[in-house]
Amino acid sequence: AQSVTQPDIHITVSEGASLELRCNYSYGATPYLFWYVQSPGQGLQLLLKYFSGDTLVQGIKGFEAEFKRSQSSFNLRKPSVHWSDAAEYFCAAGNTGGFKTIFGAGTRLFVKA
Amino acid sequence: EAGVAQSPRYKIIEKRQSVAFWCNPISGHATLYWYQQILGQGPKLLIQFQNNGVVDDSQLPKDRFSAERLKGVDSTLKIQPAKLEDSAVYLCASSLAQTSGGSYNEQFFGPGTRLTVL
């Protein structure tokens, strides 16, 4: 069955520290992969996406993600976290044409001063 | 450019009552999605429209949920009668037209409607 797993329900990092959020997928063929961010009371905003090609993808707000086919993973990283990055982050997988996008359960990021 | 609009933002009802949510997508976006996001979970697709036709409603509980997009623009999602487990945030998203085998077009999300069923 198709699934997206985010193993960490919540993560706390200090401001200025590096961040890595984990995502594993099970989707048959290599899907399109996405990371979204959701701030309280807001809709989801796309941070970055992977379709094919270079496995290291750059996104907005200084985020990047690396696709590793052998590990079925698509982890999100940021070298230095800012307090404004505190939010919920969702990994998602979809297929050609944008159908049946599946979201993980999310990881809530807390940033401490 | 105006984003996806949803109303109301919050709704509290008692079980067995009915409720409706409205969504106005970004102008020119042919594809519209309704998602249900239960607390602690990721969004789950309920229904996907292409213009005024349904592309996917496989996860829509059709005994109580209905959705329409009569003129291919605005959409309404209705629940009748509501159950306690329907408490969730209902997200609407839109994108340029999606076609099977075609390129992926980014989905833009509205702020959602938070439904509480008592």
Q: Looking at residue A85, what is its pLDDT?
A: 96
Residues of A in contact with B95 (CB under 8 A): 98
Best of B24, B50, B104 to mutate (most A CBs within 10 Å, chain A): B104
- Give the pLDDT confidence of A50-98 residue by residue, as tens digits: 988 899 999 999 999 999 999 999 999 999 999 999 999 999 998 765 5
Best of A24, A47, A50, A101 to mutate (most B CBs within 10 Å, chain B): A101
Q: Which residue has the higher pLDDT, A31 or A50?
A: A50
| Contact across the interface for A105 and B109, Cβ inside 8 Å | no
Q: A49: which residues sit within 8 A by CB, 6+ positions away? A: A32, A33, A34, A35, A57, A59, B104, B106
Q: Looking at residue B101, what is its pLDDT?
A: 63
Confidence tier at A30 by pLDDT (50, 70, 90): confident
The Cα–Cα gap between A48 and A54 comes to 13
Closest alpha carbon within chain B to A100: B45
- Give the pLDDT confidence of B4-53 residue by residue, as tens digits: 999 999 999 999 999 999 999 999 999 999 999 999 899 999 999 998 89
Q: Looking at residue B2, what is its pLDDT?
A: 81
| CA-CA-CA-CA dihedral for B45, B47, B52, B53, to nearest 10 | 110
Over the Cα atoms of chain B, what is R_g? 14
Q: Looking at residue A1, what is its pLDDT?
A: 76
Contact B7, B111 (CB under 8 A): no
